[in-house]
């Protein structure tokens, strides 16, 4: 093993210590140890790069991230307006605070604005051991502003790189570290990777796992070719001292690339903290950045030439999600239209037309119940119907398929007793989406509440041909379920214009409406049938529904 590493390689290795310590802590606190990256970097007020990018990248990759701030920049999508370096002794204090208390797996460095800060960091790493050091040798911001001057280059070369398990320069940084050599082709990048490897890093990365999996690896270099001229692909060169890997991906056309370098390095650190081998960590990180860029390619933040991207894949420019209705409103259950593609096909209309007609007729919520659709078709239908529903402020739920609900960004799901449990669906969908659960018994109603459901669908109240082998619970069964729960309830099964009034007139306080399939969609005129049922429900409920 090469010397000078940040991993303590004495007989009682750091990782063994860590296991003993963390199991002790677990005994004490009853907790599990969490993969942990410490980011030592500058703050970007625009939050596209630097510490802010590192925090978001680690959060997105499921890793805890602590921070040591080396510098505070006044920065936006136009450029860097001002830089305020944090005093070196205060950087040292932050390092001590984190490293003396928390079990850091991997340190990732970004902007290190002075020789003194590098030395402070290296000193801390001799006092507190970690499993790996990822060095992103930040020198120039993406807007072209200098973040670490030439005076620091020799310290990077002679002191920092030899301590790193991986160094991740872009073309400009690789060139600067190598005395200004020209880097214009992939062959130049390979050459640079080899030269940088010769400078260091030589440290072996220890995955920290048991002997069989403990693939000791040489120090590593990743030269990022994103700025390579005339290249259709984004090509990065990874060199581990023995083999070169050309990691290619198609170039994503977007202005939103600010912070890609910080993010890539943080993601590598996060994957290493989870125990991935180095090449796997690099591949995962590259794929993650590509995914985030692709997702964010059209978002618009700031007026400058280079915008940030969305690490958590949540922001959508001009998205329908901005226009989503507020939290679930139980009165939306009033007239619940549940689709059936067989019925709509039989009457020669598309699902979107059927949904639009139902909404026009007064449907207050829609569920896509497509039992035989191909997943791809179901997703497309969901997206089209969602556009119609959103434009009318009507929630759209997906029957059974949490994946389709997630992918289409529908308002929620309806699940039954043999579908995904509500609690799991809630974890996947988050707190804002609507979850309905089918219940026929008191126990099921109680469980729906515990599982985080927003409403209960209860039936079949009457016999139905739409759902095979579905036991009829009758009005008594509906009453039992209603009285067993605080949740709002919608009645379903064989409900039509001739019996809906009877259901509503029971006056059950939490019964908020009726859900209907065939009485709306197994009819020639969806609009007319929905209007008729809506009028009838209005009439019946004028004194009953609260
Ligand atoms: C509003 C509403 N209530 C009940 C159901 C039935 O759901 P489930 O029991 O999962 O049966 P399928 O609809 O999946 O056959 C529902 N879909 N909607
Ligand atoms: C999905 C479902 N769950 C209980 S009954 C039923 C079918 C309702 O269809 P219809 O309104 O045509 O009776
Ligand atoms: Mg179901």
Distance from residue 365's CA to the centre of ligand 3 (Å)? 17
Between CA 30 and CA 212, with CA 38 as vertex, the angle to 5 degrees is: 70
Ligand 2 centroid from CA 495, angstroms:
8
Model pLDDT, residue 503: 97
> How many Cα atoms are found within 13 Å in the side-chain-facing hemisphere of 381?
25
Evaluate whether 448 touches 485 at the Cβ level (below 8 Å): yes
The ligand 2 atom at the shortest distance from the C-alpha of residue 516 is: 11
172 is catalytic: no
Ligand having the closest approach to the CA of 371: 1
CA distances from 67 to 44, 88, 173 (A): 13, 15, 23
So what's the pLDDT on residue 22?
Answer: 42
Q: How remote is the C-alpha of 262 from its chain's centroid?
A: 18
Active site residue 260: yes
Cβ(36)–Cβ(270) under 8 Å?
no
CB of 464 closer than 6 angstroms to any ligand 2 atom: yes
Cα-to-centroid distance, 461 and ligand 2 (Å): 9
Per-residue pLDDT at 204? 59
Cβ–ligand 2 contact at 166 (below 6 Å): no
Two tokens, residue 359: 């909404």
pLDDT at position 199 is 85
- Residue bearing the CA closest to ligand 2, atom 8: 493
Instruction: Report whether the peptide linkage leading into residue 195 is cis, meaning its omega lies within 30 degrees of zero.
Output: no
The order of strands in the sheet holding 36-44 is 80-85, 64-75, 36-44, 106-109, 132-135, 166-167, 220-224, 233-239, 244-250
d(CA 143, CA 130): 33
For every one of its 546 residues, what pLDDT tens digit does the chain have, with 9 covering 90 and above? 333 334 333 333 333 333 334 443 444 556 678 999 999 999 999 999 999 999 999 999 999 999 999 999 999 999 999 999 999 999 999 999 999 999 999 999 999 999 999 999 999 999 998 999 999 999 876 666 666 677 789 999 999 999 999 999 999 999 999 988 999 999 999 999 999 999 876 655 555 543 333 333 468 999 999 878 766 678 999 999 999 999 988 788 999 999 999 999 999 999 999 999 999 999 999 999 999 999 999 999 999 999 999 999 988 754 444 444 557 999 999 999 999 989 999 999 999 999 999 999 999 999 999 999 999 999 999 999 999 999 999 999 999 999 999 999 999 999 999 999 999 999 999 888 999 999 999 999 999 999 999 999 999 999 999 999 999 999 999 999 999 999 999 999 999 999 999 999 999 999 999 999 999 999 999 999 999 999 999 999 886 655
Identify whether the C-beta of residue 128 lies closer than 8 Å to the C-beta of residue 100. yes
Q: Is 58 a catalytic residue?
A: no
pLDDT at res. 1: 30
Q: Exactly one of 207, 260, 339, 381 is catalytic; name it.
A: 260
Does any ligand 1 atom lie closer than 6 A to the CB of residue 440? no
Distance 350 CA to ligand 3 centre (A): 22
Annotated catalytic residue, options 70, 168, 207, 257: 257
- Tell me the CA–centroid distance for residue 402 and ligand 1, in Å: 14
Three-class SS state of 420 = coil
Atom of ligand 1 nearest to the CA of 438: 4
Catalytic residue among 46, 73, 155, 262: 262
User: Which ligand ends up closest to the CA of 438?
Assistant: 1
Integer Cα distance of 378 and 310 in angstroms: 27
224 catalytic residue (yes or no): yes
Q: What domains sit in the chain, N to C, each tagged with a CATH number?
A: 33-296 (3.40.1190.20), 320-541 (3.20.20.70)
Query: Does residue 492's CB lie within 6 angstroms of at least one atom of ligand 2?
Result: yes
Ligand 1 neighbour 454 (Cβ under 6 A)? no
Please give the distance, rounded to the nearest whole angstrom, from the Cα atom of residue 369 to the centre of ligand 3: 9
Whose alpha carbon is nearest atom 5 of ligand 2?
493
Q: Which residue has the tokens 């599982």?
A: 451
Q: Between the CA of residue 23 and those of 13, 29, 127, 210, what are the distances in Å?
A: 16, 10, 22, 16
How high is the pLDDT of residue 218?
A: 60
């Amino acid at each position: 093993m090469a010397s000078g590493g940040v991993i303590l390689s004495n007989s009682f290795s750091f990782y063994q210590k860590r296991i003993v310590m963390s199991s002790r802590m677990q005994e004490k606190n009853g907790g599990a140890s969490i993969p942990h990256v410490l980011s030592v970097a500058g703050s970007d007020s625009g939050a596209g790069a630097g510490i802010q990018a590192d925090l978001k990248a680690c959060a997105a990759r499921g890793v805890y991230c602590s921070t040591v701030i080396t510098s505070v920049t006044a920065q936006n999508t136009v450029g860097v307006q001002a830089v305020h370096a944090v005093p070196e002794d205060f950087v040292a204090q932050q390092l001590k605070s984190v490293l003396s208390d928390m079990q850091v797996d991997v340190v990732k460095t970004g902007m290190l604005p002075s020789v003194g800060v590098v030395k402070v960091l290296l000193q801390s790493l001799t006092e507190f051991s970690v499993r790996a050091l990822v060095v992103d040798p930040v020198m120039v911001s993406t807007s072209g502003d200098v973040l670490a001057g030439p005076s620091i280059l020799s310290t990077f070369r002679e002191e920092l790189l030899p301590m790193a398990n991986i160094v991740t320069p872009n073309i400009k940084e690789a060139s600067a570290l190598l005395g200004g050599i020209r880097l214009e082709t992939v062959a130049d990048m390979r050459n640079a990777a080899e030269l940088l490897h010769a400078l260091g890093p030589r440290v072996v990365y220890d995955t920290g796992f048991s002997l069989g999996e403990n693939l000791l690896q040489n120090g590593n270099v990743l030269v990022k070719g994103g700025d390579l001229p005339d290249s259709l692909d984004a090509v990065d060169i990874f060199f581990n001292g023995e083999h070169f890997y050309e990691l290619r991906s198609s170039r994503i056309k977007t202005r939103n690339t600010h912070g890609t370098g910080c993010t890539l390095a943080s993601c590598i650190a996060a994957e290493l903290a989870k125990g991935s081998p180095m090449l796997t960590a690099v591949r995962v990180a590259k794929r993650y950045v590509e995914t985030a860029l692709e997702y964010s390619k059209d978002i618009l933040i700031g007026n400058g030439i280079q915008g940030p991207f969305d690490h958590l894949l949540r922001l959508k420019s001009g998205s329908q999600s901005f226009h989503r209705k507020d939290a679930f409103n139980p009165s939306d259950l009033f007239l619940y239209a549940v689709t059936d593609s067989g019925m709509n096909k039989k009457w020669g209309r598309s699902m979107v037309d059927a949904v639009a007609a139902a909404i026009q007729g007064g449907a207050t919520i829609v569920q896509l119940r497509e039992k035989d659709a191909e997943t791809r078709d179901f997703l497309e239908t969901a997206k089209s119907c969602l556009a119609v529903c959103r434009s009318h402020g009507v929630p759209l739920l997906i029957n059974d398929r949490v994946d389709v609900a997630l992918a289409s960004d529908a308002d929620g799901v309806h699940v039954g007793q043999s579908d995904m449990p509500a609690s799991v669906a809630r974890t996947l969908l988050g707190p804002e989406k609507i979850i309905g659960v089918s219940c026929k018994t008191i126990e099921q109603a109680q469980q729906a509440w515990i599982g985080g459901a927003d409403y209960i669908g209860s039936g079949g109240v009457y016999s139905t041909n739409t759902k095979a082998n579905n036991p009829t619970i009758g009005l008594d069964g509906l009453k039992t379920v209603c009285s067993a729960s605080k949740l709002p309830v919608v009645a379903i099964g064989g409900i039509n214009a001739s019996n809906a009034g009877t259901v509503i007139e029971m006056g059950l306080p939490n019964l908020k409406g009726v859900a209907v399939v065939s009485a709306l969609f197994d009819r020639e005129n969806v609009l007319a049938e929905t209007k008729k049922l809506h009028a009838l429900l209005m009439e019946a409920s004028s004194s009953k529904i609260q």
